[in-house]
Amino acid sequence: MVNPICFALDFPNLRTAYNFFVNHQLSQLVGAVKVGLELFVSAGPLAVNAFVKDFGLPVVLDLQLHDIPETVAGAVAARANRA
């Protein structure tokens, strides 16, 4: 049976998301990860590639723009920091 747990990587940048994931040994506990809008805007495809390549996990992209206001604000701030 495939592990049905999908961990939401709702972090502002890839370093924070990756470190949290590793430090809490989540690769042993989850079957997939979700990359949200803020993380994807901040890191781009690297956010997906890191978890596929390093952990062999499926990745769900959740790139809604019509979302929780704090999520959209975080994505806009992440993009502003990349400019």
pLDDT, tens digit, 9 for 90 and up, residues 6-15:
999 999 999 9
Asked whether residue 44 is domain-assigned, the answer is yes
In the structure, what pLDDT confidence band is assigned to residue 83 with cuts at 50, 70 and 90? low
C-alpha closest to that of 61 among 79, 31, 38: 38
pLDDT, tens digit, 9 for 90 and up, residues 61-78:
998 877 678 877 888 888
- How many structural domains is the chain composed of? 1
CA distance 63 to 71: 10
Please give the residue range of the domain that contains residue 15: 6-82
Asked whether residue 33 is domain-assigned, the answer is yes
SS (H, E, C) the chain: CCCCCEEEECCCCHHHHHHHHHHCCHHHCCCEEEEEHHHHHHHCHHHHHHHHHHHCCCEEEECCCCCCHHHHHHHHHHHHHHC
Asked whether residue 1 is domain-assigned, the answer is no
pLDDT, tens digit, 9 for 90 and up, residues 27-44:
999 999 999 988 999 999
Question: What is the Cα 79 distance to its own chain's centre?
Answer: 15
CA distance 4 to 76: 31
